[in-house]
Structure 1
Amino acid sequence: MEPIFTLTDSDKKTSARIGLLNTDHGKIKTPCFFPVGTYGAIKTQSSEEISDLPSTVLLSNTYHLYLRPGIEILKMAEGLHKFMGWNGAILTDSGGFQIFSLQGLRKIKEDGVTFRSHLDGSQHHFTPEKIVDIQRIIGSDFMMMLDVCPPG
């Protein structure tokens, strides 16, 4: 089994590092650029066009993917990789930023956060554990954890 990260070079003066991340969906040379496909798509680019870029990883958002296209569709597609035709790695943000950006649509509790959907007004409760479960369905190679700061 290969290590998750291999350091390939470093600069003694600045401590900058170059390395290789090993994922189930290929190797990622670091540092690297992560094209952002919040909803599982890169605007104006097809998965084929993105594959031609030097980046081998995309970033998507768990909260937004949960709402649209939705978990059931992602389950039927067997994850985001197949849904969008992407063979590279995927990092999913937890949706934690939406706790701040959608302040009028959320309520923070000790165990997590409840959102009122900006799409249809439906309510959804997220805990750190539920976010991990959703990211497993998505097929994330890198999962960002939901870190809710409860009211104090």
Structure 2
Amino acid sequence: MHGGYNMKKSKKLLILALLLTGWGTTLRLNSAPINTNIPEKNIATTANSSQNVHNKSKENTVVDTKKEQPSNRISINTATAEQLAKSLNGIGMKKAEAIVSYREQYGRFTELEQLQEVSGIGPSFLERNSAKLKL
């Protein structure tokens, strides 16, 4: 029994020695070389051009959304199950009927997030269909 204790102690000392010498960290540092020859000017230019593209895409998105709003949205408070099933992504007749049943039982929806209270409807449904829905 005394020999087993020395073996456990020896293993712990070996692991401690390896960690203190940085054995595990030197392998990671040497495995992925870092390219330090990137000029700072290119980094700034890339960042600015990325920001410009991002800003332009925001402007385009706002314009595009305004174009879609009036005609393509379906009212969750007045649509039939058939209209809901036909117009929305990821929804069949069963879920569309569940939305209509919920509306009939609890009254009109006051916010789109209330759809998540309907069985089988989750946040991903709202993400996919929020541009198509209105109250």
State the TM-score, normalized to the length of structure 2: 0.24
Normalized per residue, which structure has more helix? 2
Higher-strand-fraction structure: 1
Bigger Rg over Cα: 2
